[in-house]
Chain A
């Protein structure tokens, strides 16, 4: 067994897992954080996207052990007690999700993008979402929502 201690959604958490456990499996099974999904298990679909030290990664392609001592943010850590994250808010307003299975991954990718680039162009948003597959909605409403969230975040920044 491997001991993994990390900052998970802002809190120090630890787990003891077999060494071959993926980050995704640990999040889902040891911490009950089922927002990140297993879609393809080989890094293609992006449904398992989470942020490690602020960078988006496929949780299915990391070993749990590799996040020891690092910061992990999952969809469950994005909203605060009182408020949704602007991306979550916008995804709701723009009805950017239908079945919703890809949603947590898409939203985490969008969050990583906006952290780095507060005013992304449409091609930049498309590029940022190219690792997230959606089979229902398509991407148009996601792109609109991300642009809207970006506007709100920028307005907050200036206020």
Chain B
């Protein structure tokens, strides 16, 4: 790796202050599983790397008034081990579990995954299906925005060079919402998603879909929702046919590409199947959990 300086942030505010001072020739370092890989091949290194891994206030998972808060520095392993997440949103555990391998999950953070913003990111779909919001801190203070607005394009977010992603919040109303995530890669471990899908839904006493949310990954420049499929399901009776149809509609809403991993048509077929299966699995989870995360 090329030479650079390293500065360490004590906490989030310290990090923001350092960023203000050092931007734009500074890069934030969290788990390093994307950043250091990039550095090893990049023609240039930044002047300074801001190591935030010791900023305790950026870690952890907690329940707040706004909802379930996951610190940007929470590693994928932290998420898998969090009793709060395991109980109220097991789909987040499943999604984290599909990322890389143990070593990558022990280092890699949720924040890093969202900021790198590759279309195939495995933590994106579940959070989008749960209408997550993110907190961003910069020289002008903190702001909150929906995750879907945080994503701009492949490897591009709204973050400015002097801004920090602080946390990810799953709104209270969706904590405990039955959700499922599925990823299809060419292998089980260490493989990028050809397609990944998450669905969340409530079921009312008449056994119809309420607020179904479908998020698709690796099939458009960023993780996207499938609004037509969602609208189709809203208020519909839960039947296998409805779920299959929603899968077909979702496949039509995506813009997958052909590359050396798979053809666009193959990806469309995957969307249809994975959407149906995530809907089925989310329905099966309806008995498991109830709003608010209580059993």
Q: Which A residues are within 8 Å of any B CB, using their own CB?
A: 2, 18-20, 22, 41-44, 46, 49, 55-58, 60-63, 65-66, 109, 112-113, 127-128, 130-132
Residues on the B chain within 8 Å of A127, using CB: 102, 189
B1-33 CB contacts (< 8 Å) to partner A: 1-6, 8, 29, 31-33
B37 in the interface (beta carbon within 8 A): yes
Q: List 21 A-B contacts (CB under 8 A).
A: A2-B6, A19-B5, A19-B49, A20-B2, A22-B36, A43-B103, A49-B103, A55-B77, A56-B106, A57-B103, A58-B33, A58-B103, A58-B104, A61-B37, A61-B107, A62-B107, A63-B29, A63-B51, A66-B53, A131-B103, A132-B101
Cross-chain contact of A55 among B29, B51, B106 (Cβ < 8 A): B106
How far apart sit A108 and B32, CA to CA, in the bound complex (Å)?
21
How far apart sit A140 and B8, CA to CA, in the bound complex (Å)?
43
B64 in the interface (beta carbon within 8 A): no
How far apart sit A66 and B151, CA to CA, in the bound complex (Å)?
29
CB distance B4 to A43 under 8 Å? no
CB distance B190 to A131 under 8 Å? yes
B46-71 CB contacts (< 8 Å) to partner A: 49, 51, 53
B255 in the interface (beta carbon within 8 A): no
B188 in the interface (beta carbon within 8 A): yes
CB distance B32 to A56 under 8 Å? no
CB distance A18 to B3 under 8 Å? yes
Q: Closest chain B residue to A49 by CB distance? A: B103
Ordered nearest first, which 8 A-B pairs have the shortest CB separation? A131-B101, A130-B189, A19-B6, A130-B101, A131-B103, A55-B106, A58-B103, A20-B1
B289 in the interface (beta carbon within 8 A): no
User: A46-B103, A61-B107, A128-B102 given. 15 additional CB < 8 A pairs?
Assistant: A20-B2, A41-B40, A43-B33, A43-B37, A46-B101, A61-B33, A61-B37, A62-B107, A63-B36, A66-B32, A109-B102, A127-B102, A130-B189, A131-B100, A131-B189
Residues on the A chain within 8 Å of B190, using CB: 44, 130-131
How far apart sit A129 and B36, CA to CA, in the bound complex (Å)?
22
CB distance B51 to A65 under 8 Å? yes
